[in-house]
A and B are shown apart, each in its own frame.
Chain A
């Protein structure tokens, strides 16, 4: 059995559909069997063509009349890892919020000074030295 998908379009849907027809566009598609939603590159057509499935187009207040078909060109999926959050004792910052945030800022500034700032100063120094050397050579 052919699959059935659904997409949403904003108001003035006809304009949007005209933009979409005939060229691949990225949209959130709903699989009507499972109600799963996913982003995909899709092609929309008003004629049943090979490789196309049924499409329901929903806009504000109802469904767009007529028969529509969709081809899922490519499903966009992210490959992601699991995020495990570091444990923080409840109330770690209670009463010390400002102090701990200031300490964090200080740490950040220090890090900045030891990396970006030093690099910047070294570059400035280097430019000055180059200029002096250049001047000496000219003289």
Chain B
């Protein structure tokens, strides 16, 4: 099957994870409503073939990454040809292995994304069935894309996935978070120099590109290289029409434009993974759209950010490995594995697993680790609440996690609070305007941040730090019980944390 959106649709169809709908549906609420309901039970993706009020042609793939709590990665695995039955640990390990083998893209002369080319006055974004997701939203949104920009000083192509408001026929408003490489490149290297930045918003193409675009990566790493790694073959790129940006040759739609220095348009409110209709209406970066190239009868994919829908599932599938890649790059002593569960616990919260050493390198070592974590934009600049637990806590098991949180945190010492640090968002959309004025500014969002140190503070007798099946019985006993569990007549599969806790990446 082809390594593009249509190939992904074929794979979903083959695995029984696609529902094809030929009834007419509306981009206004109806399509996103299907996805939200599907997200409740890890349901199917939908291919809508007939969209109300949209000229014959464009179709919509909704709920492409809907998954379940224990398998949020199921459809992402289908997209990459990985076994969808892998558990989270297996998935993280496989994705991490593939990411480590980056492959540079290749430039080709043309591609299917150039089948139709519209420039200038012929450009009309409203011809495409971009959806209106929820009551109160400021407009229609593109929540899944690979937005391509280039560092003007070096050979670094940056690709990211941002919430993009469809403002008018020829304007988009893009909303990168404060910690993103996009913002660093744009503000430091274009806006401050008084230069316009060329930008290309790519929809569809190889899902590997969009997945890589959704990862928070250290500066200087191109997501195209990561995409090549996770697909196992180099991405094919083609030059854009109005700039020398390279875009995926097999994209469904490529929207080309520019961001002019110091230009802003009102954006939001919008639904977000961390709450309903997040944020006030605020000024963000408009993209003046000059050209749209697309395949004939393009397919737009659409994701929703409600709990269990595609956006949080995709984030959960990708974030752990991407964050831990950073942890590895910057030498932080965290377990490389399923150490962060960002979305189901609220996107602005994180759980990090600390590889505890006894004795610590020096008194105050842990505080220094937190400070370093906080100082890295891609880690500390993301979350508003962070909890650190020992690396023998299974953070996917809420009982295990809360046990650590409630038994190891000394409220007098182990909760750190800072009042104003860069965060992805302030969680309450119901914040009063005067507070928003205090925290939300053009440089990003400054918010209060809390850290819970839920690691054990000293080695307990015999090294048994907590009372659990995995810590208080010898391994052969654990194995014996697990293996005999079903033989003894119990129907439910036992959840044994040992393989998860032992996993090394």
Residues of chain A having any CB pair with chain B under 8 Å: 8, 10-11, 28, 30, 34-38, 58, 60-62, 80-85, 87-88, 90-91, 93-94, 97
- Flag whether B330 is at the interface (Cβ < 8 A): no
- Flag whether B138 is at the interface (Cβ < 8 A): yes
- Could you tell me the distance between the alpha carbons of A17 and B132 in the complex, rounded to whole angstroms? 27
- Could you tell me the distance between the alpha carbons of A85 and B244 in the complex, rounded to whole angstroms? 7
- With a cutoff of 8 Å between Cβ atoms, the chain A residues found around residue B171 in the complex are 37
- Count of chain A to chain B residue pairs whose CB atoms are closer than 8 Å in the complex: 70
- Could you tell me the distance between the alpha carbons of A112 and B324 in the complex, rounded to whole angstroms? 51
Residues A82 and B290 in contact, CB atoms below 8 Å apart: yes
Contacts A34-B126, A58-B136, A60-B280: A94 and B154 contacting too (C-beta < 8 A)?
yes
- Flag whether B328 is at the interface (Cβ < 8 A): no
Query: 1/0 contact trace for B424-445 toward A, CB 8 Å?
Result: 0000001011000000000000
In B129-188, the 8 Å CB interface with A consists of 132, 136, 138-140, 150, 152-155, 157, 166-169, 171
- With a cutoff of 8 Å between Cβ atoms, the chain B residues found around residue A85 in the complex are 196, 198, 242-244, 258
- With a cutoff of 8 Å between Cβ atoms, the chain B residues found around residue A34 in the complex are 126
Residues A91 and B290 in contact, CB atoms below 8 Å apart: no
- Could you tell me the distance between the alpha carbons of A90 and B244 in the complex, rounded to whole angstroms? 9
- With a cutoff of 8 Å between Cβ atoms, the chain A residues found around residue B291 in the complex are 82
- With a cutoff of 8 Å between Cβ atoms, the chain A residues found around residue B140 in the complex are 35
Q: Which residue of A lies closest to B257 (CB)?
A: A83
- Could you tell me the distance between the alpha carbons of A62 and B152 in the complex, rounded to whole angstroms? 43
- Flag whether B106 is at the interface (Cβ < 8 A): no
Residues A8 and B266 in contact, CB atoms below 8 Å apart: yes
- With a cutoff of 8 Å between Cβ atoms, the chain A residues found around residue B244 in the complex are 85, 87-88, 90
Can you list 18 A-B pairs, Cβ within 8 angstroms, ordered by A?
Answer: A8-B266, A11-B432, A30-B138, A34-B126, A35-B132, A35-B140, A36-B168, A58-B136, A62-B136, A81-B120, A82-B291, A83-B288, A85-B196, A85-B242, A85-B258, A87-B244, A94-B154, A97-B153
Residues of chain B having any CB pair with chain A under 8 Å: 28, 119-120, 126, 132, 136, 138-140, 150, 152-155, 157, 166-169, 171, 196, 198, 242-244, 258, 265-266, 280-281, 288, 290-291, 430, 432-433
A28, A34, A97 pick with most chain B CB within 10 angstroms: A34
B153, B196, B266 pick with most chain A CB within 10 angstroms: B153
- With a cutoff of 8 Å between Cβ atoms, the chain A residues found around residue B139 in the complex are 30, 35, 37
Residues B242 and A83 in contact, CB atoms below 8 Å apart: yes
- Could you tell me the distance between the alpha carbons of A62 and B280 in the complex, rounded to whole angstroms? 12
- Distance in angstroms from A103 CB to nearest chain B CB is 14
Residues B152 and A93 in contact, CB atoms below 8 Å apart: yes
* Additional 18 contacts, C-beta under 8 A, given A10-B433, A28-B265, A93-B154: A34-B126, A35-B28, A35-B132, A37-B168, A38-B168, A60-B430, A62-B136, A82-B119, A83-B290, A84-B243, A84-B290, A85-B198, A85-B258, A90-B155, A90-B157, A91-B154, A94-B154, A97-B154
- Could you tell me the distance between the alpha carbons of A91 and B432 in the complex, rounded to whole angstroms? 47
- Could you tell me the distance between the alpha carbons of A90 and B158 in the complex, rounded to whole angstroms? 13
Residues B167 and A80 in contact, CB atoms below 8 Å apart: no
Residues B155 and A82 in contact, CB atoms below 8 Å apart: no
- Could you tell me the distance between the alpha carbons of A75 and B157 in the complex, rounded to whole angstroms? 38
- Could you tell me the distance between the alpha carbons of A97 and B156 in the complex, rounded to whole angstroms? 14
- Could you tell me the distance between the alpha carbons of A83 and B257 in the complex, rounded to whole angstroms? 8
Partner of B258, one of A36, A58, A83, A94: A83
- With a cutoff of 8 Å between Cβ atoms, the chain B residues found around residue A38 in the complex are 168
Contacts A36-B126, A37-B139, A93-B154: A82 and B167 contacting too (C-beta < 8 A)?
no
- With a cutoff of 8 Å between Cβ atoms, the chain A residues found around residue B119 in the complex are 82
Partner of B430, one of A58, A61, A82, A84: A61
- Could you tell me the distance between the alpha carbons of A72 and B288 in the complex, rounded to whole angstroms? 24
Contacts A37-B167, A83-B288: A8 and B138 contacting too (C-beta < 8 A)?
yes
Q: Which residue of A lies closest to B141 (CB)?
A: A35
Contacts A35-B132, A36-B126, A36-B168: A82 and B152 contacting too (C-beta < 8 A)?
no
Residues B242 and A60 in contact, CB atoms below 8 Å apart: no
- Could you tell me the distance between the alpha carbons of A83 and B167 in the complex, rounded to whole angstroms? 19
- With a cutoff of 8 Å between Cβ atoms, the chain A residues found around residue B169 in the complex are 36
- Could you tell me the distance between the alpha carbons of A84 and B196 in the complex, rounded to whole angstroms? 11
- With a cutoff of 8 Å between Cβ atoms, the chain A residues found around residue B136 in the complex are 58, 62
- Could you tell me the distance between the alpha carbons of A81 and B288 in the complex, rounded to whole angstroms? 10
- Could you tell me the distance between the alpha carbons of A10 and B437 in the complex, rounded to whole angstroms? 12
- Distance in angstroms from A82 CB to nearest chain B CB is 4
- Could you tell me the distance between the alpha carbons of A8 and B171 in the complex, rounded to whole angstroms? 19
Residues B153 and A28 in contact, CB atoms below 8 Å apart: no
Q: Which residue of B lies closest to A30 (CB)?
A: B139
B152, B167, B168, B169 pick with most chain A CB within 10 angstroms: B168
- Could you tell me the distance between the alpha carbons of A83 and B198 in the complex, rounded to whole angstroms? 9
- Distance in angstroms from B325 CB to nearest chain A CB is 24
- Could you tell me the distance between the alpha carbons of A82 and B122 in the complex, rounded to whole angstroms? 11
- With a cutoff of 8 Å between Cβ atoms, the chain B residues found around residue A93 in the complex are 152-154
